[in-house]
Structure 1
Amino acid sequence: MQAMPDNVMVVDHPLVAHKLTLLRAAATPTGDFRRLVREISLLMGYEVLRDLPTEPVHIETPLEPMTARQVSGKKLCFISILRAGNGILDGMVDLVPSARIGHVGLYRDPLSHEPIEYYFKVPDDMDQRLTVVVDPMLATGHSAAAAVTRLKRAGAGAIKFVCLIAAPEGIAALHAAHPDVPVYTAAIDRQLDEHAYIRPGLGDAGDRLFGTK
C-alpha cells in the first residue's frame, strides 16, 4: 500500500475493528447494518473530537463548589454527504446532541464518476465552527473533495473528514485537493475496482443502510 499522508488517522480500537467486520459481512441484515454504523460512528467520534477546546466553568456539585471543564466556543457542525452520510451522522449526534447539522447532496455520475451537487444547506457562521464531514466510504475522493470545496466557499475553515472505509485512491485525491483536511477512518482497504467500488469494502453503503437493493 502506498504511503499515507501524515494527517490520515486509522481508528483501530478493537471494538471498532470487531463491529466493522460484522458490518462488512454480506449476510448482515439492514437493521443490524444500520445499528453497527451508528455504533462505530459513536466510537470513532471520541477520537475525532479528542482535541476540542475546553474552558473552566464554576459549578456546584451536591457536596461543594468546584471548577470543571466544558467545551468552549461555537457549537461544532456535522455535515452529512447525502444520502449515506446520514448513517454516520446518527452516531455522531448521539455523542454531541447539541451540534449543528448540515447536508450536502451529491450523486456520482455513473460514467465519469464525477460528483454532481443537487442540495446544499449548512448553518450560519461556518467560519466559527469546527466542521466534521461524514460519509461512510472514501472511494474516488471526488465527492469528498467537492463537498469540502463547497463548504470552504461557505466559510468553513477547520474541517475534518470521517469515513468508515477509505481507498488509497480516495485518500490521495482528497489530500491533493485539500491537504489541510485530516481524514479519520476505521480501515484503509486495498484498492478501487473498475466500477470505483472499494475492495474488499462492504458494498454500497447507502443501499445497505436503507435497504434499497
Structure 2
Amino acid sequence: MTDLTARLEACYSGAVFDVLRDLGHANCVLPRSIAAIDPDTSVCGRVFTIRGRPDDTVDAHQSLLAWTELLTVVPKDHVAICQPQDDVRALMGELSAEALQSRGVRGYIVDGGSRDNAFIRKLGFPLFARFRSPRDIVAAWVPEAYGEPITIGQVRIATGDWVVADIDGVVIIPEALAETVVAKVEDVMKQENLVRKAILEGMAPKDAYLRFGKF
C-alpha cells in the first residue's frame, strides 16, 4: 500500500469533492446511480481502467477466456473501473470478485450490472455498480481495452488517476492533482474537527463558520 493510499483511507468522498470543486474540478463525481452493493463498504486507491462491449458473435468459450484474462490483467493494489457499454448484463460476480480479491485488487467499480451480490457482500469485496441482474456475459460481451481512458457519465477517467468511493458516491481525483488534493483534504478535516468541537462546546454554527471559515 502506498503512503497516498493509506492517507486516502482516512478521507471521505464529500471532503474530496469539496477540495476538487475549490480547485476548479467539480466534474469529478460519477453518476449517483453507481453505488456500493453494501453501504458499509468503501474503497480508495489508484485506478486501472477497463472498457468492453456487447458482442453477439462470440461463443461461450471465447467470452469466458477473455473474461478470465480481464481478471488477471488488473494490477494488485488498484481499483478497477469498468465502462462496459452495456445496460443488460452483470459485469461482476462472486467467483470473479473472489479472484480479484485474492490477487490484491482493492475494489471494482462498474457503469453496469453485478450479480451474486449477497455472496460478494459476505466476501467484503468493495463493489460499486449501477444495477443488479442475474444475466452474465457468457457468449455476449468482451473486453476491448485495458488502461485506456474511459468516460462514465461526464467524467473522464484514466489509469493512474485516484478514486475515493463510499456510501455517498464515487469521486475521481486526476493523477496530477492527487498529492495536492489529499493534503488539502487532510487540512479540511482538521478544520472541520475544530468547528465540530466549537459547536459541541456551545458556539453557534454561524459563529463557528465565521471563526474557522469552514462548515
**Does the alignment reach a TM-score above 0.5?**
no
Instruction: Select the structure that is richer in strand.
Output: 1
Is the radius of gyration larger for structure 1 or structure 2? 2
TM-score, normalised to structure 2, is 0.30
